[in-house]
Amino acid sequence: MATLQAARARALGLPLATAKSWGLNRAIYYAAAKRGFKSAGGAGPAKPRGTRAVPREFFLGDDKAYQVTTRGRKLFTIGGEIQSPEDFRLQIEQRFAGTFRATWGESLKIVQQFPRRVLESQEAFYALIYRPRRDELAKKWTERAGA
């Protein structure tokens, strides 16, 4: 999820660091949603620890997340934690055991096959891009990484 979401964000024009932050943020969000997290009920986003940055709503098409600007970079936050490109590298890229560059290229090719309106739709992205490929890509990328 994180890799395809990051590729989606990159294809929609976000800078690479911000796109990686988006990808990790969305993976965390959907994993929590799958587990049945409870909303804070209008309390708003938690201010990230260790920063004075104030989270602001950000929309990638119709998909909403909270973004902060820190050290000149626009990054996403969830649960009081900023998802940095360094976090993406540690939590996502390293799982690919040196094969992430090929995986990233493949992810970009996949999302670039679709029109902007599909990439801007949370539902269409899931239904047309992510869901039909998730099992096949997980298997392929796991084998490629030698895991």
- For residue 51 the two structure tokens come to 């920063």
Query: How would DSSP label each residue in the chain?
Result: -HHHHHHHHHHTT--HHHHHHHHHHHHHHHHHHHHT----SS--PPPPTT--PPPEEEEETTEEEEEEEETTEEEEEETTEEE-HHHHHHHTGGGGTT-HHHHHHHHHHHHHTS-HHHHT-HHHIIIIIIHHHHHHHHHHHHHHHT-
Query: Rounded to 5 degrees, what angle do the CA atoms 24, 21, 27 make?
Result: 15
Contact 3, 91 (CB under 8 A): no
| Confidence (pLDDT) at 39 | 56
Q: Number of folded domains in the chain?
A: 1
| Confidence (pLDDT) at 73 | 92
| Confidence (pLDDT) at 50 | 76
| Confidence (pLDDT) at 64 | 96
| Confidence (pLDDT) at 38 | 58
Residues of the chain with pLDDT under 50: none
Full residue range of the structural domain in which residue 59 is found: 2-145
CA distance linking residue 76 with residue 140, whole number of Å = 29
| Confidence (pLDDT) at 10 | 98
| Confidence (pLDDT) at 53 | 83
